[in-house]
Structure 1
């Protein structure tokens, strides 16, 4: 066989059979050695579109070959496929490709949208570092989690330098939310931080006489008010700590039905699924970067339907959404769930009432109807919002405020209206008018961040 027919057979055979074919004859060895063959193997099996090693350093080729050294003698060099196979041969290649694609996609998004957080990411850990962490923990990490750390060893750990920590705090790649004096911003833990915080957590449980959970590892935590994510390394389940975490209370934050920790071809644990879902929300615009005082952060209040409602009345636009906050003390009572909601007010083009345009309008009062399932549990009227009476001008940035509400059930909704005055409250230019706040959900989500 020659040409396209032989190339097609080699390509369909795959990398390992192709390497075996190369041993059969000089003719087959020459066909298998073509760079295009190994380019296709690297793309299909590893997601590589350039000959790079696992640390993104360039390699001479996709295939094995020879190069001229400085002393004018020939030496063999390793192809990209072989380098990757030797580095990750203990893992299923489809899983290696999946985790590699996740990290390259997340880093690409961060580089474009949140570059100040990029340098908080550590380079990948070695197998020796992972084994050392497992020895310190006293148990093995799930295979997908180990691979996640092979490509990136989480974010830089707490430095204990006040000024550096203030700068680093809002740069968590998971992000968070702010309402009243409650701030959360979640960072992905490094191996070193995971080991240290897991030991502290287990020690606290021991001191209270509580049984230590089976092989639990703290994989992410907040730099502001405490919020902790815990991986069960035996089952692959991922949990978020509640306000009663000190007593061992946790909630699942990834659908259990999706977790396959022992699948031979493509195992997936809670941490991998959680991070992949977070990336999807970043990529599709469900969550975005928002300003926070003098910095920026990944804000977890949803920005798109169906989790974010939107309504326009007389030119005034109101967007509203909520997040579930299991770590807040108000949600620490049995059967009580705390939700924080974010309201965004703006006049995109112009405020118009009865065919008359107004140069501004000002919020005067609010009316909220809060439901638990289908039952009205709160009907609230009041002046202003969080003590403010925002003045809206056409084309200006949204006025954003956050508040919260407890709910005696896992699901409900909020809707209502604002009363606005054309012009200013102190100098009205027309009659007050109501602006609709479309219903938005309060619910414990399948994925909790």
Structure 2
């Protein structure tokens, strides 16, 4: 085609879809295409914009964000509209994110909102969880994140959709404290609640309230309890140019004292976590443990489930990250091994062996990574000897427990499992990379009726062995 060609000749060339698609379109901007389609009516507009979406955004499906970047729309029929919406996304994120990152971030936010709404409808989760999520950063604020050399692009994509969680204040309730997006647990002196930082308040340079905070990593989440840990990411030109490692380290420490808890970026880390929420792996704790996503697994291969004499026992463990004052070995992973927390959830599931029974004692066997067995026998659990009950009337099954014993509160909890949690202490032969088959086995001893008024002899309720492992990614 030359400048001497007539308009008719130009139209004939453009009408040839093969010539247009393979010899002209690859060299035209979207503005050029918009001008061409106004002049040359013979252009296959839909096919042209579909090819532009594939070329500029690697997009092959008719999906695009809504105007708020909070939801993915799948009802858009015109490829030109899809192109405009994704172009608006890239402009909003200052051209540092990919289309896939945008899709993943928006879909993740949709999944979170849908999950929160379902839990509220089932009255299993207070509204404060949903309200704790901070709004997306505006374009100007987002620019400071996008331009910072340490900030990974997938974190920019996430903050374009959700700004983390609102910062806690002294006026916040315990319910707000446990509304930690990345889960929580309590066990003796451990009050762990990993909460997303408020991106608008923190900013990419670090924590403004601490002028001595080392600007060597980008905070993503902070444990507002004990131990004081945090999650961070950073782009490292040599070792991690895209910032795909998610790191856990003591709050305020340099990034020399970190462990990697995820290696596919912060978006993937959050996606995998939400999958665990939606599948029930991390359940919402009932009273009296308090609201919160409990990080002791409730489903999956690492969970022991057994039913004996009408009593169901679910048990699982998790590594309790702890660190020392030893700069050469900040994480307590020396020859003594890892410290694990373990959780038992027990309830009566039928009345075939009597409607009530009371916990008398326990027998545990801790098998470390060298195969050495440590046995523990004791009365009750942490001073509690719950009375489990089960009733079935009017077509409705009901279970629960009466919290009695020296440390019990003497209250009755309906439709609630009894939970007992403790720690293994250092377990020899275990590391984060390999725990060498370490596990826990044993049984609980119950008596039908009550200890004061038994209805028969005691019986043992064994629980299936459960492993002491450190999954990856780790939450």
Please give the TM-score of this superposition, normalised by the length of structure 2.
0.72
Task: Give distance in 2, aligned partners of 1:81 and 1:425.
Answer: 68
Task: Give distance in 1, aligned partners of 2:366 and 2:141.
Answer: 50
Q: Unpaired segments of 5 or more residues in structure 2?
A: 1-11, 120-124, 326-330, 391-397, 400-415
CA deviations 1:178-217 (Å, max 9, x no partner) are 112421111111223365755778936xxxxxxx6x8322
CA deviations 1:368-392 (Å, max 9, x no partner) are 0001125134100110011111111
Relative distance call for 1:312 and 1:92 in structure 2 (3 A) is: same
Verify: 1:340 aligned to 2:354, yes or no: no
The Cα of 1:150 is off from its aligned counterpart by 1.4
Task: Give distance in 2, aligned partners of 1:120 and 1:328.
Answer: 29
Whether the 8 Å contact between 1:154 and 1:188 is mirrored in structure 2 is yes
Task: Give distance in 1, aligned partners of 2:42 and 2:104.
Answer: 31
Determine which structure has the larger helix proportion and give its number. Answer: 1
CA deviations 1:307-339 (Å, max 9, x no partner) are 111011111111001121103779746343121
- Secondary structure of 1:291's match? coil
1:145 aligned partner: 155
CA deviations 1:113-132 (Å, max 9, x no partner) are 24431111112113432443
1:384 aligned partner: 380
Task: Give distance in 2, aligned partners of 1:404 and 1:243.
Answer: 23
Q: What pairs up with 1:247-326 in 2 under 5 angstroms?
A: 249-254=257-262, 256=263, 259=264, 269=265, 271-293=266-288, 295-326=290-321
- Secondary structure of 2:233's match? strand
- Secondary structure of 2:457's match? coil
Whether the 8 Å contact between 1:53 and 1:80 is mirrored in structure 2 is no
Q: What pairs up with 1:41-440 in 2 under 5 angstroms?
A: 48=63, 52-54=67-69, 80-88=85-93, 89-113=95-119, 114=125, 115-132=127-144, 139-159=149-169, 162-164=170-172, 166-191=174-199, 192-193=201-202, 195=204, 198=207, 203=212, 215-225=216-226, 226-234=228-236, 235=240, 236=243, 237-241=245-249, 249-254=257-262, 256=263, 259=264, 269=265, 271-293=266-288, 295-327=290-322, 332=332, 334-335=334-335, 336-352=337-353, 358-394=354-390, 395-396=398-399, 397-406=416-425, 407-408=427-428, 409-410=430-431, 411=435, 412-440=438-466
Please give the TM-score of this superposition, normalised by the length of structure 1.
0.76
Whether the 8 Å contact between 1:53 and 1:83 is mirrored in structure 2 is no
Relative distance call for 1:62 and 1:201 in structure 2 (3 A) is: farther
Task: Give distance in 2, aligned partners of 1:426 and 1:312.
Answer: 25
Relative distance call for 1:44 and 1:116 in structure 2 (3 A) is: farther
Relative distance call for 1:403 and 1:46 in structure 2 (3 A) is: farther
Task: Give distance in 2, aligned partners of 1:298 and 1:38.
Answer: 43
Moved more, 283-292 or 144-153: 283-292
CA deviations 1:101-160 (Å, max 9, x no partner) are 12221222123224431111112113432443578xx7430111111111111100133x
Q: Unpaired segments of 5 or more residues in structure 1?
A: 66-77, 205-211, 260-268, 353-357
Relative distance call for 1:218 and 1:87 in structure 2 (3 A) is: closer
Relative distance call for 1:351 and 1:316 in structure 2 (3 A) is: farther
The Cα of 1:250 is off from its aligned counterpart by 2.2
Task: Give distance in 2, aligned partners of 1:243 and 1:381.
Answer: 38
The Cα of 1:90 is off from its aligned counterpart by 3.9
Task: Give distance in 1, aligned partners of 2:424 and 2:225.
Answer: 21
CA deviations 1:327-356 (Å, max 9, x no partner) are 37797463431211110111111242xxxx
Verify: 1:27 aligned to 2:36, yes or no: no
Whether the 8 Å contact between 2:96 and 2:153 is mirrored in structure 1 is no
- Secondary structure of 2:296's match? coil
- Secondary structure of 1:128's match? helix
- Secondary structure of 1:436's match? strand
CA deviations 1:217-259 (Å, max 9, x no partner) are 22111222222112233222222225995895322112x4xx4
- Secondary structure of 1:400's match? strand
1:72 aligned partner: none
